[in-house]
Amino acid sequence: MNLRLEQVNLHGNSWKRSPREPLTHGNTPPAACRCPVASGARGGYRPGASRGDMTGWFLAVFVLGAICCMSAVAEDARFSHRHSKDYPAGFDANFADRAAWEKRRDTVRQQALVALGLWPQPPRTPLNGVIHSPIDRDAYTVEKVFFASLPGHYVSGNLYRPRGRAGKLPAVLCPYGHWPDGRFIWRSDADVQKELASGAEKTAEAARSPLQARCAMLARMGCIVFHYDMVGYGDSRRIQHPLGFTDAESILRLQSFMGLQTWNSIRAVDFVLSLPEVDEKRIAVTGASSGGTQTIALSLADDRLAAVFPVVMVSMNMQGGCVCENAPLYRVGTNNVELATLCAPTPQGVAAAKDWTEDFETRGLPQMKAIYRLFGAEDRIEGRFFPYPHNYNLHSRQMMYGFFNKHLKLGWPEPVEEKPFVPIPPAQLSVYDAAHPVPADATDAAGVRRWMAETSDAQMAALAKTPENYVRIVGAALRSMVVDEMPCPGDVEVIDGDRPLAPAAGLSWTGHIARKGTGERIACRVTFPATWTGTVVLWASLEHQPPETARRLLHSGAAVLTIETYMAGNFRPAPSTRPAAQPPRTAYAAFDLGYNRSVFANRVHDLLTAIALARGWQQTRRLHLLAHGGAGPWALPARILAGDAVDRAAIDLDGFDFDQVREDTDPMLLPGALKYGGIRGLIPLCAGRPTLLCGQRKDDGRPVSELVDFLLK
């Protein structure tokens, strides 16, 4: 009998699809374009939610003497259960012990640091800080500050210092959110009366300038307070909020508005620690709304904090509606509650309001307490709901004062009551004037991104000189970029099939596989020859696979395993069956890629699932990976992450590298890929494992027969 290889869909039409076919969308990414669910995400698959159905997708199959068409009408939760800022992954905090949590914590923190462009951190360049023009108040002074968080980008703000205090003093960083006029907020008389009438505030000055109220009271309590601008607000105007970091290249290099603001916060810690009177063991941070988002990000990125107090952003509901609060990869498989908990057992207070945080006391606080309990530190986490709209009003502030009084050891009489203060008009708070102009080297978003790229490239070049460090840094980054690692065979299940899957000589099986508990469905076909030797070849290709190659593999005694990777071939719902996507606030891909794996990463994920399936067969002795015809680029990360689970790999890269990606709709987009050197940056991670790579240039490919030669050595 002759071996025949066919590629067939349910309508009988032959197919061939380019791996680079764009996944077009207007201002909104269609649900089918980017809808992966992290396999390890807690609460990632929600049975009972609306489902889309997928029809007309197909799989290359291998049969002796006949064409066998795989009927693959199936549902995959990565289409129908797409996460977003309003519907993030869950967090159940159900860990057996502290060690189990710490393993999860390290994974999520690593992913967050990679997402923010802080793995590794950029070099700490000179701050060149300027402090000038003090304004006197009865118990404190207010000064004007600016410093360079990186060359040409300046952080601006006001420094509050208590008067008449001796010895080392605690310091509190105060980032803020999207308040009207930012640091210069100055409410109208009518708005002041509304705040007073509602009970949100008790004094006119606090109602007029609630941000100054916070800083003034903390200074009275003995804290040095740095109240600094969000990028694009206050005196920070060289970069327009929130523009300049939303194109495909910024995603490929993990350059984001959120990452820049987090770096500004880290450098703000450096700044206050440069003040001789600051106690390095008593540094805290508090902010509301986007300032709460910044507080969470700083708490997971900087271990120098002694206490944190995020306000109206710790939630399992909406996660942050602005470009400045989102970054690719940042919340894939996680949410703000878990991200805020990463700093445990650092003391943390949380205030919630009548907004998306209103259920925090029942969905959020219990989970945080469970984690703090693992450290024997449940007394270090506090949370409370206040029945006022989205705010940082008197009630939340007074909770914060008491919390910092306790954990920063301020010694203020309890209960802490906010004192009257004399607010400073906005014009007097402005940092820049004729004597202190904006520095001549101040740059825009393009200049900041240029510095980020040059610095990152230099770091990668330096790492390449020490292979061990290179593998550690870039390997960790790769796991975060695909939000996955090699699963255990027991984590993979067979969903259905034309018969029970019991690997044996002469068996041909068709069905679906998935990671347990994810709701995925990956079409799969495996053919075992009559003379099966225990070798399995996982064959990945988007093109017509030569029948003579399949014949050769089977006649060598190798089983041939094929899968339909995510969004490849016809694996894509028809437009009429795609779930409707909720329009994001702007056309920024991180509103999707910050909550779901990219198409590229899902394809890596599917290959790893298939590898784990085959490795779970007791009779499997060797497993090889064969990739060509457009599948090589995602087979390379799979080979790296699979490690020793793959014995030999032969991969044709088809001339692809990530610098060819121009649009965020390109299915070959992998967030962070260019930051870590692209395809060439990944190749060193294969060291020590038999791997044949070809096609780094378009004219550098090899016949499939030569790839098989390498596998069958």
Q: What are residue 116's phi and psi, to 5 degrees?
A: -85, 0
d(CA 533, CA 558): 6
Cβ(539)–Cβ(704) under 8 Å? no
- Position 504 scores a pLDDT of 87
Distance of CA 117 to the CA centre of its chain: 10
- pLDDT, tens digit, 9 for 90 and up, residues 274-300: 999 999 999 999 999 999 999 999 999
DSSP 677: T
The pLDDT value given to residue 16: 31
Query: What six digits make up the tokens of 601?
Result: 């990463």
User: CA dist 28 to 33, 78, 80, 590, Å?
Assistant: 10, 17, 16, 11
Burial zone of 307 (CB within 10 Å; 0-12 exposed, 13-18 middle, 19+ buried):
buried
Shortest CA distance to 604 belongs to which of 631, 571, 569? 631
User: What is the reported pLDDT for 700?
Assistant: 86
DSSP string, 160-215: EEESS--S-EEEEEE---S-TTGGG----HHHHHHHHHHTS-SSHHHHH-HHHHHH
Residue spans of beta strands (DSSP E) within 1-69: 3-6, 61-64
Whether the CB-CB separation of 154 and 231 falls below 8 Å is answered with: no
Q: Which domains does the chain have, with CATH numbers?
A: 3-10+466-565+589-711 (3.40.50), 104-433 (3.40.50.1820)
Q: Which two tokens stand for residue 369?
A: 């307490």
Question: Distance between CA atoms of 518 and 524, rounded to whole angstroms?
Answer: 17
Q: What is Dmax (Cα atoms) for the chain?
A: 97
Provide the sign of the torsion angle of the four alpha carbons 150, 152, 157, 159, taken in this order. Answer: positive
What crossing angle do the helices spanning 599-615 and 632-642 adopt, rounded to 10°?
50
pLDDT for the residue 622: 98
The helix (run of H) or strand (run of E) holding residue 707 is: helix 704-711
Alpha helix (H) residue ranges in 464-533: 467-482
Residue with tokens 């923190």, as numbered in its chain: 109
For residue 126, how many other CB atoms are within 10 A of its CB?
8
Q: In the prediction, which pLDDT does 244 show?
A: 95
pLDDT, one tens digit per residue, over 176-222 is 999 999 999 999 999 999 999 999 999 999 999 999 999 999 999 99
- Contacts for 593 with CB less than 8 Å, ≥ 6 apart: 34, 251, 328, 329, 332, 664, 671
Q: What pLDDT is stored for residue 698 in this prediction? A: 83
Token pair for residue 36? 């992966």
Q: Is the Cβ–Cβ distance between 540 and 626 less than 8 Å?
A: yes
Q: How far apart are CA 143 and CA 135, in angstroms?
A: 6
HEC string of 290-313? HHHHHHHHHHHHCCCCCEEEEECC
DSSP-derived pairing of the beta strands 130-136 and 522-527 = unpaired
Residue ranges for the chain with pLDDT beneath 70: 1-74, 569-586
- CA-CA distances (angstroms) from residue 220 to 160, 168, 172, 291? 9, 15, 12, 22
List for the chain the helix, strand, coil content (%; round to 5): 35, 15, 50
Q: What angle do CA 322, 124, 472 make, to 5 degrees?
A: 85
Burial class (CB in 10 A: 0-12, 13-18, 19+), 282: buried
Residue 395 belongs to what H/E stretch?
A: helix 394-407
Three-state DSSP state, 92: coil
DSSP 54: B
SS3 assignment for 325-372: HCCCCCCCCCCHHHHHHCCCCCCEEEEECCCCCCCCCCCCHHHHHHHH
What separation in angstroms does the CA of 477 have from each of 113, 402, 585, 634?
9, 40, 28, 15
Q: Whose CA is closest to 56, among 69, 70, 73?
A: 73
Listed residue (563, 665, 561) closest to 605, CA to CA = 563
Looking up tokens 């050891």, which residue turns up? 409
Give the pLDDT score at 587: 73
The DSSP code for 255 is -
pLDDT value at residue 292: 99
Angle between helices 290-301 and 257-273 (to 10 degrees): 70
Residues 6+ positions from 309 with CB-CB distance below 8 Å: 284, 285, 286, 295, 348, 349, 350, 351, 400, 403, 404
DSSP letter at 120 equals S
pLDDT at 572: 52
Q: Is the dihedral of CA 560, 708, 552, 6 positive or negative?
A: positive
Q: What is the C-alpha separation between 365 and 412, in angstroms, rounded? A: 27
Provide the CB-side half-sphere exposure for 405 (13 A, CA): 18
